[in-house]
Amino acid sequence: MAAGNARIVRYIVFAAFFLGVLYLISNNQGYRLQSDLYNVGKTQPVTNPPEKEQPIINGGGGSTWSETLDKSGGTGSGDGVKSDGNGVGKSGSTVPGSSTSNSESDSMKGSTRPPPGTPKQQTDLGEAAMALTPNDHGWNDMLGTAPGPRMNATFVTLARNSDVWDIARSIRQVEDRFNRRYNYDWVFLNDKPFDDTFKKVTTSLVSGKTHYGEIPHEHWSFPEHIDQDKAKKVREDMAQRKIIYGDSISYRHMCRFESGFFFRQELMMNYEWYWRVEPSIELFCDVHYDPFRYMAEHKKKYSFVLSLYEYVETIPTLWDSVKKFMKNYPEHIADGNSMGFLSDDGGETYNKCHFWSNFEVGNLEWLRSQPYIDFFESLDQDGGFFYERWGDAPVHSIAAGLLLKKEEIHFFNDIAYYHVPFTHCPTGEQTRIDLRCHCNPKENFDWKGYSCTSRYFDINKLDKPQGHIEEE
């Protein structure tokens, strides 16, 4: 009897030990899945992933902070969902809230608004088509990681350490309206080393990887051929005439850098597409699809949301330089270009129209191509970045207008945007409702007298969005 009791006790002890081991194994597995999930969004983009982290030119301050900050509690980016190592959410079990609700999203057809908490669901994430309109499947799937492939793309911001809180606001909006579902990387560039606060705050807000680069001196200084005395006199004269930023040296370095160097910083060489974001901008509507993928699939190279006339005092001889370039490099001028956007007399004079470059989604390989580099270097030799105050907006716009076919320039009506003092609020009430916009349509600049956007529509023979007549 005693022997029988001892055997039962042994069985119980053995069973308890076995259950304990089982419990430990299953807990461990759960932990591993969880950490996979939260690390995966910080990997490189799907297409042409860079082999390794690249330091900036001259071995300056390029660094990657995502790995050094513990982000495994979520990033504060909406639902905190990350994508897998391929940049897309895994179908099935690892993306929270993406269990099985195909029928649910089907049943939402016709409505533009999913109930709060509706889980996103896609079975074939890698191949999923983009929903471009409310009638397309998946339009309402605004929770969780977005389906579909990722482009080799990054956000890019030039900023000073003192811009940290203004860029934080911009990032928050870009993440909430778009990137929390896509987890694209973000490259920050500065002529000085970024400080820890800047890195900590921005890394905590971006759902993709963050990279920080210090701009090499030769990209942020006077080229040798510039006559310093002449440049100084220009600044003094512009200060007297109260031309905005007319007396600023750093603003001129900024404009020259954005015109000719940002796209060839070592960190940017890892990418094919960029979306430029400045401090204190606003995004007023949800971005329902991937603008990078839209650009790639529709063969676009450059895009804009706002256009206007440049302040002539800052570019008196810019067009002379452009004409010199056209004469010297006729082979770079595209057939079917947008000269009609830039000039009212077939190229004799510049009408000052330009795309506002504080917002840009564009192709980096185009900017790194020989035609663009020849264009920039030709302008740079003429010295107008310092002898006048040429902005990167007219420089990029004239390049896009002359070196690209006109179909390669895209207007994003559905990306609602503000940079002081102008607003692009999508035309058409239904569009604004579908996109859940919070901008005041009365502030939309597109059809006002000082905008060049009508001209863009005219030369491309495009129909203006419904509702534009009421806004004009």
Ligand X SMILES: Nc1nc2c(ncn2[C@@H]2O[C@H](COP(=O)(O)OP(=O)(O)OP(=O)(O)O)[C@@H](O)[C@H]2O)c(=O)[nH]1
* Residues annotated as catalytic (active site), given as ranges: 360
Cβ at position 383, least distance to ligand X in Å: 20
Which of 430, 420, 375 minimizes the C-alpha distance to 397?
A: 375
Burial status of residue 215 (CB atoms within 10 A of its CB: 0-12, 13-18, 19 or more):
buried
Identify what 266 binds: Mg ion, ligand X, none; CB under 5 to 8 Å per kind: none
> What distance in Å separates the CA atoms of residue 207 and residue 74, rounded to the nearest whole number?
9
Contacts of Mg ion in 215-234 (CB under 5 A): none
> What distance in Å separates the CA atoms of residue 284 and residue 352, rounded to the nearest whole number?
28
Q: Per CB under 5 A, which region of 21-29, 111-119, 348-356, 358-366 contacts Mg ion?
A: 358-366
Interaction site with ligand X (CB under 6 A): 157-160, 163, 190-191, 250, 254, 278-279, 358, 420
Helices (H) and strands (E) in the chain, counts: 16, 13
> What distance in Å separates the CA atoms of residue 367 and residue 437, rounded to the nearest whole number?
32
Identify what 72 binds: ligand X, Mg ion, none; CB under 5 to 8 Å per kind: none
Cβ at position 419, least distance to Mg ion in Å: 6
In terms of CB distance, is 121 or 303 closer to ligand X?
A: 303
Chain position carrying tokens 């969902």: 81
Closest residue by beta carbon to ligand X:
250
> What distance in Å separates the CA atoms of residue 94 and residue 33, rounded to the nearest whole number?
7
In terms of CB distance, is 212 or 456 closer to ligand X?
A: 212
Tokens representing 2 are 């005693």
In terms of CB distance, is 296 or 315 closer to ligand X?
A: 315
Cβ at position 208, least distance to ligand X in Å: 19
Q: Per CB under 5 A, which region of 160-168, 256-264, 271-279, 328-336 contacts Mg ion?
A: 271-279
In terms of CB distance, is 190 or 427 closer to ligand X?
A: 190
In terms of CB distance, is 104 or 166 closer to ligand X?
A: 166
> What distance in Å separates the CA atoms of residue 361 and residue 245, rounded to the nearest whole number?
25
Q: Per CB under 5 A, which region of 67-75, 79-87, 216-224, 277-285 contacts Mg ion?
A: 277-285
Quick one: which of 36, 278, 286, 313 contacts Mg ion (CB under 5 A)?
278
In terms of CB distance, is 163 or 380 closer to ligand X?
A: 163
Handedness of CA 331, 306, 409, 169 (dihedral sign): positive
In terms of CB distance, is 339 or 452 closer to ligand X?
A: 452
Identify what 6 binds: ligand X, Mg ion, none; CB under 5 to 8 Å per kind: none
Buried (b) or exposed (e) across 65-102, using 16+ Cβ within 10 A? bbeeeebeeebebbbbbbbbebbbbbbeebbbbbeebe
Identify what 382 binds: ligand X, Mg ion, none; CB under 5 to 8 Å per kind: none
Tokens representing 75 are 């990033």
> What distance in Å separates the CA atoms of residue 369 and residue 263, rounded to the nearest whole number?
11
Cβ at position 367, least distance to ligand X in Å: 17
In terms of CB distance, is 215 or 281 closer to Mg ion?
A: 281
Handedness of CA 465, 469, 470, 471 (dihedral sign): positive
Which of 214, 215, 259 minimizes the C-alpha distance to 389?
A: 259
Q: Determine if 282 is a binding residue for Mg ion (CB under 5 A).
A: no
Identify what 250 binds: Mg ion, ligand X, none; CB under 5 to 8 Å per kind: ligand X
Name the β-bridge partners of 444.
Answer: 423
Burial status of residue 125 (CB atoms within 10 A of its CB: 0-12, 13-18, 19 or more):
buried
Q: Per CB under 5 A, which region of 209-217, 278-286, 288-296, 334-342 contacts Mg ion?
A: 278-286
Cβ at position 278, least distance to ligand X in Å: 4
Which of 439, 430, 382, 455 minimizes the C-alpha distance to 177?
A: 439
Three-class DSSP category at 68: coil
Cβ at position 279, least distance to ligand X in Å: 5
Contact between residue 274 and residue 360 where contact means Cβ atoms under 8 Å apart: yes
Which of 86, 91, 78, 94 minimizes the C-alpha distance to 38?
A: 94
Identify what 191 binds: Mg ion, ligand X, none; CB under 5 to 8 Å per kind: ligand X
Number of chain positions touching Mg ion (CB under 5 A) = 2
Identify what 446 binds: Mg ion, ligand X, none; CB under 5 to 8 Å per kind: none
In terms of CB distance, is 142 or 189 closer to ligand X?
A: 189
Tokens representing 345 are 């007399």
Cβ at position 114, least distance to Mg ion in Å: 35
- Residues 6+ away with beta carbon under 8 Å from 167: 157, 159, 202, 277, 278, 279, 280
Cβ at position 57, least distance to Mg ion in Å: 25
Q: Per CB under 5 A, which region of 28-36, 91-99, 357-365, 425-433 contacts Mg ion?
A: 357-365
Identify what 154 binds: ligand X, Mg ion, none; CB under 5 to 8 Å per kind: none
Helix (H) or strand (E) holding 202: helix 196-205
Contact between residue 189 and residue 269 where contact means Cβ atoms under 8 Å apart: no
Three-class DSSP category at 274: strand
Identify what 158 binds: Mg ion, ligand X, none; CB under 5 to 8 Å per kind: ligand X
Q: Per CB under 5 A, which region of 141-149, 254-262, 289-297, 353-361 contacts Mg ion?
A: 353-361
Cβ at position 166, least distance to Mg ion in Å: 9
By CB under 5 A, name the binding residues for Mg ion.
Answer: 278, 358
